[in-house]
Structure 1
Amino acid sequence: MPSNHLIVLPSSPAASESYSAADEEIGQGISLAQENLLRQQKPDGHWCGELLVDSTLCSDYVVFMHWCGEVDAHLQRRCVRHILKRQLPDGGWNIYHGGPSEINASVKAYFALKLAGCSVDAPFMQEARATIMRLGGIPQMNTFSKLYLALVGVFPWKYLPAIPIEMVLLPSWAPFHIYKMSSWSRAMLIPLSIINHFKPTRILAGEKQLHELYPLGTEQADLRLPRSEKFWTWRNFFLRLDDTFKFLQPLRIGLLRQRAMEAAEQWMLERIREGSDGLAAVYPAMLNSMIALRALGYSKTNPVYAKAENDFAGLFVDDPEDFRIQPCLSPVWDTAITIIAL
């Protein structure tokens, strides 16, 4: 039988481990943890801790500012410091603490630094470029990351999956409709369908392009998503479906497309206006919604866009030593978990 000074941890039948701790030490630890949690309680009673993630959020935001043509120089400098602080010894960037260099995070970081004015000849940029090329370059990025590159003319739209906006009109009895997706996915996809329709592109100056991150160049390379070797696979099915959507997209059946556009816009507006902390209150959907609003013609001073922008700024962590952007706020999770712990 274990003594009163042992904490027995759950274990598999094959192994059993226990850690020795005095009752007094355990009590002190619990008291300190309780005091710390109570200090962090908000005036109205809830808790909300910071959600720490990788450098991609700051990288994407720099690209967004350049796409808008509205660069906040101070914020950009803070984003640059954030990105450089997280560069790994091999020159790349990871997507989780202690992880290896990852292609999407590395390309995004390199691009943000280049847009911000960092010289491609700087040692840290050369190291980043070498790691990116070792990982396969831009062709190895995921389609979501490539879309942000397409917005500034760095990746061809024709190689991105089509997102037919008409999906918003599908009825609930259809095999597929937007409410069969998770809330997070739905909030991502509807703004993306608007973006995919307009393809709002700002062409950057030649020195800001990313030709150096294409192993075979941008003209000769086949940048389509590769098909499976077998004829019938789910991958090939969806790629052929995408080909069909792209074939039909130029037709833009007038009334149907217009009705779908209005429905998608209204769906988005209802979830951005007062009573919301932003579309789905999550970074990708909120950023996509701002891009979609601009594509729809909403100006920076439009009240709807101004609120979306203000909600997005609510994700900023204004640390003078290390500016950060959170992917979302989590008061419900944090409050529930803290109450259980206390």
Structure 2
Amino acid sequence: MATNSPNLISLPSARPETGESYTANDSQIAWAISQAQENLLRQQKPDGHWCGELFVDSTLCSDYVLYLHWLGEVDRELQERCTQHILRRQLPDGGWNIYFGGPSEINASVKAYFALKLAGYSADLPFMREARANILRLGGIPRINTFSKLYLALMGQFPWKYLPTIPVEMILLPTWAPFHIYKMSSWSRAMLVPLAIINHFKPTRELPGEKQLHELYPLGTEHKDFRLPRDERTFTWRNLFLRGDDALKMLHRIPWKPFRRLALEEAERWMIERIGDGSDGLATVYPAMLNALIALHALGYPNSHPALAKAKKDFEGLFVNDSEDFRIQPCLSPVWDTAINIIALAESGLPAEHPSLQKAAAWLSNKEVRTRGDWAKNNPHPEASGWAFEYNNVYYPDTDDTAMVLMALRLVHPKDKKDYEDLFQRALAWQLSFQCRDGGWAAFDKDVIDGWLENMPFADHKAILDPTCSDLTARTLELFGYIKFDRHDPSVENAIRYLIATQEDDGSWYGRWGVNYIYGTWQVLRGLRAIGQDMTQDWILRGRDWLESCQNDDGGWGETCATYEDPSAKGKGESTASQTAWAIMGICACGDLNRSSVQRGLRYLLSTQQSDGSWHEPQITGTGFPGVFYLKYDMYRQNFPLLTLATYVNYRRSVGHPPSFFRCN
């Protein structure tokens, strides 16, 4: 064992296992913990934070190639790196998927094919013929979503008249109106405001014949109606919106638009403000940042303009260009990664006074958001606080990061306790203010849950709303439990009622921000234990039993992104380190650490740890937009297994979780 290892937890002997011959070896666990700790500490940045890479599908590189050709400023070397990235990810059936091991997906496949064509690859090449055949089997261009069609329209490959109108005047609607931009999720808002500007200008490029996409229309492009289909029933929200869209298209043909100039100016101001100081790009997320670049060019901004130059620099900050591959990240995750790593290291025995934890905590505390951002439109809470996911994103802090950061900071004994106590009081009040009417918590906004908006023609990305979810609600309860928040407070009781109401019939919980039911169920069980629930209640044990029911023969757990569209696939998949870690923690939360499921899970983690202290995990276990966009957090295969081993050890020692320096009065 390395003599310079960080503090190790000394383990008592485990009781004999019943029904399973294997019992996790104490020295093996201690060694695995030390290796995992050292692995994380090696990756810490000099200023104290961590930031692991976020891996996604090929669509980001495809979109970027489309953008370069729309802009007319193609960097040939960068384009070649993008196309190699795309080609490496082509599936044997000719298509492209949106998650590891998934089937060909129409949007990803059309975008990849188009990017390759724009880059000069002939449609007659064998891999292009295979791609084309696959796309046509999937239904061709008519089957892609609205946002993909809009990118094609910019290149003259889809008729604008068949795209839903995104009226820029929507930005002028007051918050008391039945619809306004703050009734949408923050990510939809950040995508749609620049798209509304683009929709006004319709800045279309002409392509030579060899780069066009006529061959991807199964029935051809001539005399074909590509309007969105209506419901069979006459009176539905969808049909109402589609009739409204027809009316907007008629109005668009009328030259006199009294509010258009004012709306364009307000949309421009809104966008510029959110890509300025305090932000690393519009909402600091790829789709909004790319749309903002297109909108700025459509507005006539020259490359030399500071706003456009900053937007371009921020966007390029998402690039990863190493010797193996060129990749584009959807965003950056320093706050999230740093918080989880602090928790994993502190729970596994690193002293609270350790310089690495102190530096990390100081870095996190300096990232508190003190700006009243978009969230304030739906939440009147007077004092700004909270944390965002990224380095700088002052308009969009979220409750998930805030809960995770506070759970991290509670473990590090600060030098200036008064400042940290003030921070905790402020952030806790902010977090509490986001509890929604149904008792749950959503990510970025409060009560953005008007279901009729999901029928809007441009809402087919399936994420127009920001609904409450079990994983965020349970994480907030977990925080409350650790800091001794009153478990009988109405906010806690309402949250528990929410979790009871959202439990699936089989005992599991849906996971909105991680894949999927394993993630949701683990977090709920962990949150319930922390807040002091009796973990022997039948409804709680049903969650544990569900986790045990889907353990794989190798002792691990796995679940794929397919479960978001096919719930019958829940709990099924090749074992992964992160999902195994979640499942073990969920079962441990219910007590009886000698259950065979726990011991077999530990054996899986111990036997698959790599020599550098990490675990191999090519699978995607993070969720962006269910059914549309997923991401692989590279840190998940490193920090969650460590946290699981530490949790098991601490529960066996009957010490639970380390005490908080901050406790509620």
Residue-by-residue CA offset, 1:49-82 (whole Å, 9 max, x unaligned): 1111000000000000000010000110000100
Structure 2 distance, partners of 1:213, 1:54, is 21
Task: Report 1:67-216 matches (<5 A).
Answer: 67-216=70-219
Aligned pair partner of 1:315 in 301, 311, 318: 318
Aligned pair partner of 2:50 in 47, 51, 58: 47
Shift of residue 275 of structure 1?
Answer: 2.7
Distance 1:25 1:261, change over 3 A: same
Matched, 1:4 2:7: no
Contact 2:86 2:112 in 1 (8 A): yes
Aligned pair partner of 1:251 in 250, 254, 273: 254
1:223 corresponds to which residue? 226
For the aligned residues, what is the CA RMSD? 1.9
Structure 1 distance, partners of 2:187, 2:202, is 22
1:235 corresponds to which residue? 238
Contact 1:7 1:21 in 2 (8 A): no
Unaligned ranges ≥5, structure 1: 9-15
Contact 1:5 1:21 in 2 (8 A): no
Residue-by-residue CA offset, 1:188-223 (whole Å, 9 max, x unaligned): 110000000100001111111000000111113221
Structure 2 distance, partners of 1:130, 1:228, is 30
Aligned pair partner of 1:22 in 22, 25, 28: 25
Residue-by-residue CA offset, 1:159-209 (whole Å, 9 max, x unaligned): 110001111111121122112222211111100000001000011111110
2:528 corresponds to which residue? none
Shift of residue 129 of structure 1?
Answer: 0.5
Distance 1:7 1:160, change over 3 A: farther
Amino acid paired to 1:322: D
Secondary structure of 2:207's counterpart equals coil
Structure 2 distance, partners of 1:257, 1:305, is 23
Matched, 1:285 2:288: yes
Distance 1:5 1:237, change over 3 A: farther
Shift of residue 22 of structure 1?
Answer: 1.2
Aligned pair partner of 1:299 in 288, 295, 302: 302
2:499 corresponds to which residue? none
Contact 1:168 1:263 in 2 (8 A): yes
Shift of residue 249 of structure 1?
Answer: 2.1
What TM-score does the superposition give when structure 1 sets the normalisation length? 0.93
Higher relative contact order (CA 8 A, sep 6+): 1
- Work out the percentage of aligned pairs sharing the same amino acid: 74
2:404 corresponds to which residue? none
Structure 2 distance, partners of 1:185, 1:18, is 52
What TM-score does the superposition give when structure 2 sets the normalisation length? 0.49
Contact 2:154 2:204 in 1 (8 A): yes
Matched, 1:266 2:239: no
Secondary structure of 1:267's counterpart equals helix
> Which deviates more from structure 2 when the two are superposed, residues 326-335 or residues 192-201?
326-335
Structure 2 distance, partners of 1:180, 1:26, is 49
Shift of residue 42 of structure 1?
Answer: 1.7
The list of structure 1 runs, each at least 4 consecutive aligned residues, that deviate by more than 3 angstroms after superposition, is: 5-8, 16-20, 252-255
Contact 2:14 2:23 in 1 (8 A): no
Amino acid paired to 1:104: N
Unaligned ranges ≥5, structure 2: 1-12, 346-665
Distance 1:18 1:224, change over 3 A: farther
Amino acid paired to 1:263: E
Structure 2 distance, partners of 1:193, 1:178, is 11
Contact 1:315 1:329 in 2 (8 A): yes
